[in-house]
Amino acid sequence: MELLSRIHSADDLDAAVEYCYARRWTDGLPVIPATRAPVERTLAYLGRDPQEVIGVIPPRNGIATVEKIVINSVMAGCRPEYVPVVIAAVQAMLEERFNLNGVQTTTHNCAPLVVVSGPLVTALGFNTKEGALGHGSRADAAIGRAVRLVLWNIGGGYPGEPCKTTHGHPGYYSFCVAEDAEANPWEPLHVERGFAPEDSVVTVTATEAPHSVGTGSGDRPADDVLAVLADSIAVLGNCVPMGGGNVVMVLGPMTAANLAQSGRSKMDVKRDIARLAQRTVRDMKRRRVSFEPSHPLHWSHLTNADDDDALVPFLRSPDDLVILTTGGWGSPGGISSVCPGWGGFGGFTVSKRIEIPQGKS
Amino acid sequence: MSIEFFDPVGDVQKARAGTARTLEVLAGRKVGFVFNQHVSAVAFWDAFEKAVETRHAPAHVARLYKPAHSVTAPLADIERLATETDYALVGVGA
């Protein structure tokens, strides 16, 4: 198999790992040097032309060929069957509405959150129980890591220059979560977004780090649970009200069950949260953001800005809220996580079907 | 025994080379203003546009204001501006 990437060498594995650091092929965590055998094994699994161009990754405008994505995936610890997920995530991030150039370079602390739903979640062994957004599973960790290495090595997403994220967050290293079909009381995320139940789908949104939201025990009134979830969005400092940003809400199973048992569909929940996630004009006037009131994305266009008691919605539409269910059940109370997006600037939610090679499962 | 491994860095896509034109004078030319609408530059940009229009008396003014400072202007709008104008002034506040 002829590959075009330059070949480097080192005396042994230790030296190779250090070589990767010296070449700035990693953002701080160690990587596995991409030797020929796993790269060729992965390419054989994919059955695609190694030089097929998936896209151009900003801000460096690096060309993401299948070969380069595979190399970075191997460095991240991916098994061959993980790589279609990585490719789908790259394709999703390259949709214009995601504004990947902005996501990679903004001063905001947002990183692409990769959500996987569908049959592949079980087949690849994603962690959908305790620690679903964190540690404990090779699939979550390696796929999230591969996406980051693609953004780093192909896209040139280096902090400082050109990437200006003020703090970043731990999800910049790896940020991938899977929906728990078993615990989810509603239609799967990908079905809600127009895909077939048997499809496996990647959904990306650029978000801040997850913020924990305690929603109380499973018999707490659903109206109170919704109020708490909405309050976690209507935070004065976040970007969401600027122009209609997206929010990813990761519900713990206890919280989701509580809401479903109240008779609400997922769309009902989204509508209720969108209706409740608001602040008064009086509060909003304390926000000093980088828009003049005349700017079309400014919140003052959403309400009577002269009435201090009028309410300003943080979500322009229930569809700006992405809800999935995953994680551990909890004990004294359910816990969810809210991941606010980047406002109206980009990082908007995009879904892509994962293309599994023919004859593979 | 040495170990060999592949380079993960992607080749950079070459930018399309445009034809550079030089304007001897700005007076009577068609000007385009591209502004990112950042709050820190709103007052400056307004004064800047007025100054250009007063000093150089353009024959035509086209404006392309980005929807937000972090959003890329749509390529189609940039291409339209390129066909409508002789020169463009690009303003960035941050």
Q: Measured between CB atoms, does A153 come within 8 Å of chain B?
A: yes
Q: Measured between CB atoms, does A9 come within 8 Å of chain B?
A: yes
Cβ contact A208:A165 at 8 Å: no
pLDDT at A290: 64
Q: How far is CA B70 from CA A73, A182, A195, A344, B67, in A?
A: 29, 39, 31, 9, 9
DSSP annotation string for A38-50? HHHHHHHHHTS-T
Which chain A residue lies closest to B68 (C-alpha atoms)?
A345
Q: How far apart are CA A96 and CA A94, in angstroms?
A: 6
Residues sharing a CB contact under 8 Å with residue A84, sequence separation 6 or more, in sequence order? A46, A354, A355, A356, A357
Q: Measured between CB atoms, does B9 come within 8 Å of chain A?
A: yes
Q: Measured between CB atoms, does A24 come within 8 Å of chain B?
A: no
Q: Measured between CB atoms, does A51 come within 8 Å of chain B?
A: no
Mutate which of A291, A301, A348 to disrupt the B interface (most B C-beta within 10 Å)? A291
HSE (CB half, 13 Å, CA atoms) of A54? Answer: 29
3-state helix, strand, coil in chain B (%, to 5): 30, 25, 45
Query: What digits encode the pLDDT tens for the residues A268-325?
Result: 999 999 999 999 999 999 887 767 787 778 888 889 999 999 999 999 999 999 999 9
Cβ contact A183:A330 at 8 Å: no
A 186-215 residues inside an 8 A Cβ radius of B: none
User: Least CB-CB distance to B6: which of A71, A243, A342?
Assistant: A71
Its sign, for the CA torsion A151, A153, A158, A161, is negative
A 314-353 residues inside an 8 A Cβ radius of B: 342, 344-346
Residue A138 has pLDDT above 70, yes or no: yes
Query: What digits encode the pLDDT tens for the residues A326-335?
Result: 999 988 789 9
A76 membership: H or E segment, kind and range: helix A66-76
A162-171, A217-226, A333-342 — which is least confidently predicted?
A217-226
Mutate which of B1, B4, B6 to disrupt the A interface (most A C-beta within 10 Å)? B6
Query: What digits encode the pLDDT tens for the residues A44-98?
Result: 999 999 999 999 999 999 999 999 999 999 999 999 999 999 999 999 999 999 9
Edge-to-edge strand order for the sheet containing A247-251? Answer: A211-216, A334-340, A247-251, A321-325
B68 with A297: Cβ contact below 8 A:
yes
User: Least CB-CB distance to B13: which of A61, A68, A342?
Assistant: A61
- Mean pLDDT (whole number) for A233-241: 86
Identify the band that residue A218 occupies on the pLDDT scale cut at 50, 70 and 90: confident
pLDDT at A130: 96
Chain B neighbors of A2, CB-CB under 8 A = none
B83 membership: H or E segment, kind and range: helix B75-84
Identify the band that residue B9 occupies on the pLDDT scale cut at 50, 70 and 90: very high
Q: Measured between CB atoms, does A227 come within 8 Å of chain B?
A: no
Residue B7 has pLDDT above 80, yes or no: yes
Mean residue pLDDT across chain A: 95
Angle, CA of A242, A246 and A252, to the nearest 5°: 135
pLDDT at B75: 85
Residues sharing a CB contact under 8 Å with residue A100, sequence separation 6 or more, in sequence order? A57, A58, A93, A94, A112, A155, A346
Residue A14 has pLDDT above 90, yes or no: yes
Write down the residue that tokens 């659903």 correspond to.
A222
pLDDT at A242: 77
CA distance B45 to chain A (A): 13
Identify the band that residue A241 occupies on the pLDDT scale cut at 50, 70 and 90: confident
B 29-88 residues inside an 8 A Cβ radius of A: 37-40, 42, 67-72
